[in-house]
Amino acid sequence: MYRRDFIKMTSAAIGYSALGTGLMASSKYQSTPTQKSLVFDAMGEIRDVYPRKLVKEILDSGLNAITVTLCDPKTFEHEAFEAAKDGILHYDRLIEKHPDMYKKAIQVSDIDKSRQEGKLAIFYLFQNSTQFGRDLDLVDMFYGLGVRSTQITYNYQNWAGAGCKERTGAGLTNFGLELVEKMNEAGMLIDLSHANMQTMADAVDASKVPVIVSHTACEAVYKNARNTTDENMRLVAKKGGVIGICQIRPFVTNIRKGAFEHYLNHIEHAIKVAGIDHVSIGSDRDHRVIEMSDEYIAELKREEGNNFDASHWPLFMDELNGPRRMEVIWDGLKKRGLSERKLEKVMGQNNYRIYKEVVG
């Protein structure tokens, strides 16, 4: 899910000042396991409005690597191409502006270097393939600019395939087959988030290397168009791929109180179905503490218009509303009996492994 651009400007409604209290208090987390283990978010958010204090908190929580969305995926043709270029320039400038905190990642060795230097390794992702149009040479161009992962679709139909909200059940197109082959050749990781189940299955079958579904949840646990069936999770795992479980509450449950336990249910179910070597965390979330103030809700209503549905908000789960959420997940899964070795795989090593195999 792409966060609306207006949220970038609502710093008054999104308070970092709330840190230091409640579940996210840093004093509660001293010398945590996540600070010693590799932690890699398969798809999350890093914003240019983050104050240094927040970034330091993110780093202190143990997050070592993250894959970020470069631009709005709801664009097509020339607009998509221009947005893609602008997105790369934007993140390049952000990283260059803060070289002590961020490192642009183009291979997994950049994660290793970042961990040694106390920085966050940032991989680049397109959440759609519309920036390529029907020109496969653009895969090479964007790879040369540092993009290491691309989704085949975003919710609806494009040249490559059908998204999860498309009316028909059409799968990967002929061009989509060519795109999969080209991405394999370039070393660009195929992301099947937002694809419908037929497109996902077709792409898994067509790819010669593992694929990722970086941010989804389990259809068997909670029915939602964005969630993945057990059958497809098994297909992804059989190919050596990874399923990242996201933290968007409406994909996980329709309740707010106790939503975190439902989130853990999704992770446990994915592990049961796909295996411990094929499940990870793909938060799809902002790191700030979001306050559902009257002003914030009013801004949401203005932005969403007739599409505003109060039942979808807040998108976050209370326990994961802030920069130390990976610690909370570790603790929650540990309480459910996951060993440290299994936790290390889910929290980072599985993502590291697939990037190593596909990206290098």
Task: Give the pLDDT of residue 306.
Answer: 66
Residue spans of beta strands (DSSP E) within the chain: 40-44, 65-69, 102-104, 120-126, 147-151, 189-191, 212-216, 242-245, 279-281
Structural domains counted in the chain: 1
Query: What confidence score (pLDDT) does residue 307 get?
Result: 61
Model confidence band, residue 309 (pLDDT cutoffs 50, 70, 90)? confident
Instruction: Give me the pLDDT at residue 5, please.
Output: 37
Distance in angstroms (rounded) separating the CA atoms of residues 180 and 203: 7
The pTM (predicted TM-score) of the whole model is 0.90
- Pair of tokens at residue 258: 């106790």
Specify the length of the chain in residues.
360
Ramachandran angles phi, psi of 22, nearest 5°: 65, -150
Give the Cα separation of 260 and 317 in Å (integer).
6
Q: What is the CATH number of the domain that holds 128?
A: 3.20.20.140
Query: What's the token pair of residue 330?
Result: 């570790």
Whole-number Å distance between alpha carbons of 66 and 63: 8
Please, what is the average pLDDT of the chain? 90
Beta bridge partners of 65: 40, 121
Strands 65-69 and 102-104, how do they pair? unpaired
Strand 242-245 relative to strand 40-44: parallel, antiparallel, unpaired?
Answer: unpaired
Domain of residue 174, residue span: 5-358
- The first and second tokens of residue 30, run together, are 């001293």
**Residue 10 pLDDT greater than 70, yes or no:** no
Average pLDDT over residues 295-318: 75
